[in-house]
Structure 1
Amino acid sequence: MIKLDGISGFVAVAESGSISEAARRLRLSKSVVSERLAELERGLSSKLLHRTTRKLSLTEDGIIFLERAHRILQEIEQGTADIAERRGTISGPLRLSAPVTFGRMHLGPALYPFLAAHPKLQLTLDLDDRRVDAAADGYDAVIRNGAISDSRLMAWRLAPSRRVLVASPAYIKESGKPRSIEELERHRGVFYTNRGVADWRFPSSGGAVLVRGQMGFGVNNGDMLRDAAMAGLGIALLPTFAVGAAIEAGKLEIIDIGVQPELEYIHIAHSQGRQPSFKLRALADHLRAAFGTPPYWDPAFPA
């Protein structure tokens, strides 16, 4: 008899490409996942995976069965969600990914009361500043700051995310405060490297204007980027959720060059084609209410 835990184990291995990673996602031992796979293959009388010392790959039968296995798990997940919605309960596993700075400063405090109100929800949150692949990495949803370029994802807006140019009072005293895009280009910058090249983008009537300041420091973490700006290493373009408190405390000053960066949004995104669960929709509604419009981290910054 084919068991559901064998199907879920096979899907996890196929998506992650390794038994070790699948075991981590499922919170099981490698030996348990391996045994479930072997039992599934015996039940199907077919080999689903090619196993070598370096990697796992799907057999022809594995490729065919994977599509059906996805459907089976999705139908069960949707059926469970439908029953939960009828009963008004929120329960079961939910795996999310979010950026480190936003997760630490704002997402965590918003999540805690939601989890306390729904003790049967088993939420796992991974904080990572890289752009994870929601489907391949096994996430039910990802939370991101900025545009969603992945066409495989369906995104819901949670809150607007304004960005501002900032520098420390010490840097401004030493180097002056630029008043235009042309002046900004002559200043040292601290850049968020996960956005790619070291530049800032501003809208204009003729299209986007890219400003490349002098590279002072590059880092792939928002906390360190803010701290580098406070240390006087240069000018940074940062979301107000990361620098609002530092501005109010006088540790950073807003730099006005006569043009505002494009408005971005905090999104929660899930894989296209998958029916969003009741618990995911409930979480999104809770986060929108918790962040507010305008968001609570923007009280000192007029629109």
Structure 2
Amino acid sequence: MKLDGIASFVAVAEEGSISEAARRLSLSKSVISERLAELERGLGATLLHRTTRRMSVTEDGLAFLERARRILREVSDATTDLAERRGALSGPMRIAAPVTFGRMHLGPALYPFLAANPGIELTLDLDDRRVDIASGVYDGVVRHGAIADSRLMIWRLAPSRRMLVASAAYLARCGVPATTAELHAHKGIFYTNRGASDWRFATPQGLEIVRAAFGLRVNNGDMMRDAALAGLGIALLPLFIAGPDIRQGRLQIIDVGVLPVSEFIYLAHPEGRRPSAKLRAVAAHLHATFGEPPYWEDGVP
């Protein structure tokens, strides 16, 4: 049984196709197929159902998959430990992050870190959908939101202030709300990956939930900002997205007398698994780079 065959099987099982697994591992499809066939012959079991459109994992494959992941993690951790003994940060690392934050802030923060640590082989997956950090696919997940998942170990990277914002044209047309009650008469631009389409505020009396009419529901922060700039309604946006437009006067802050529920940028990793030195180094680097308060809040009251 060869490690490259195990790695190929795990990649196909997670990606759902040989083509995607080949892209992930930077190999040809024929090499992936050969390694899978050799692994199945060695195990005497069929691990994958092959169809014209997609690969699916068999019952034997599911039984083998978690152990296969564990084998790859152990080998990776052993290699990393040896490198750390020599004072180097090296080896593969896979991190997931939201698209807009990744493009605007995470990437620019990581580039100098990777340049200073060329032995690290980082795969950065940008996707606005939530991923299951407990699955073991990722070493860490950068998230934006409230910290509530008890299955996760959390490193806070930065606080994340959010503001209700709208364009001057929208406010001139529809009026400027001064209380949360007045928000109900307005159109909202909502982020669909949060589930419920509402705004949540921390008041002296407790949590207050406001549901405005739909102006737009979308699963991407860039498009929420663009919709607000286009005058489609009010958006509750983090300053890491809205800061430049607020500073340049393209979006106006709406003060309704209470603040949105506190949120953070944080790096999560699975409970019960010792984080590698390189993941701890990434967390420390990001925290120092973002600052507290973070640099994207500069110039915003």
Contact 2:192–2:217 under 8 Å retained in 1: yes
Q: How does 1:33-182 map to 2 (within 5 A)?
A: 33-53=32-52, 54-60=54-60, 62-134=61-133, 138-147=137-146, 152-182=151-181
**Cα distance per residue 1:66-115 (max 9 Å; x no partner):** 34323322221111121122222122222222112111111111111111
**Cα distance per residue 1:24-57 (max 9 Å; x no partner):** 3222222211111111222233333343445422
* TM-score normalized with structure 1 length: 0.90
Q: Distance in 2 between matches of 1:25 and 1:271?
A: 22
Q: Distance in 1 between matches of 2:71 and 2:177?
A: 59
Q: How does 1:224-303 map to 2 (within 5 A)?
A: 224-301=223-300
Between the aligned residues of both structures, percent identity stands at: 66
Contact 2:166–2:231 under 8 Å retained in 1: yes
**Cα distance per residue 1:169-200 (max 9 Å; x no partner):** 22222222111111111112222222223311
Contact 2:147–2:264 under 8 Å retained in 1: no
* TM-score normalized with structure 2 length: 0.90
What's 2:210 paired with? 211
Unpaired runs of at least 5, structure 1: none
Q: Distance in 1 between matches of 2:69 and 2:124?
A: 23
What's 1:25 paired with? 24
Q: Distance in 1 between matches of 2:24 and 2:138?
A: 9
Q: Distance in 2 between matches of 1:221 and 1:23?
A: 28
**Cα distance per residue 1:156-178 (max 9 Å; x no partner):** 21111111111122222222211
Unpaired runs of at least 5, structure 2: none
Three-state SS of the structure 2 residue aligned to 1:114 is helix
Q: Single out whichever of 47-56 and 292-301 deviates more from structure 2.
A: 47-56
Three-state SS of the structure 2 residue aligned to 1:203 is strand
Residue 49 and residue 188 in structure 1: after superposition, are their counterparts in 2 closer, same or farther (change >3 A)? closer
Q: Distance in 1 between matches of 2:134 and 2:55?
A: 19
Q: CA RMSD in A?
A: 2.2
Q: Single out whichever of 245-254 and 145-154 deviates more from structure 2.
A: 145-154
Q: Distance in 1 between matches of 2:112 and 2:274?
A: 25
Three-state SS of the structure 1 residue aligned to 2:92 is strand
Q: Which amino acid aligns with 1:155?
A: I
Q: Single out whichever of 286-295 and 132-141 deviates more from structure 2.
A: 132-141
State the aligned residue count: 300
Contact 1:12–1:138 under 8 Å retained in 2: no
Q: Single out whichever of 21-30 and 174-183 deviates more from structure 2.
A: 21-30
Q: Distance in 1 between matches of 2:213 and 2:284?
A: 42
Contact 2:69–2:136 under 8 Å retained in 1: no
Q: Distance in 1 between matches of 2:218 and 2:81?
A: 44
Residue 154 and residue 68 in structure 1: after superposition, are their counterparts in 2 closer, same or farther (change >3 A)? same
Three-state SS of the structure 2 residue aligned to 1:113 is helix
Three-state SS of the structure 1 residue aligned to 2:261 is coil
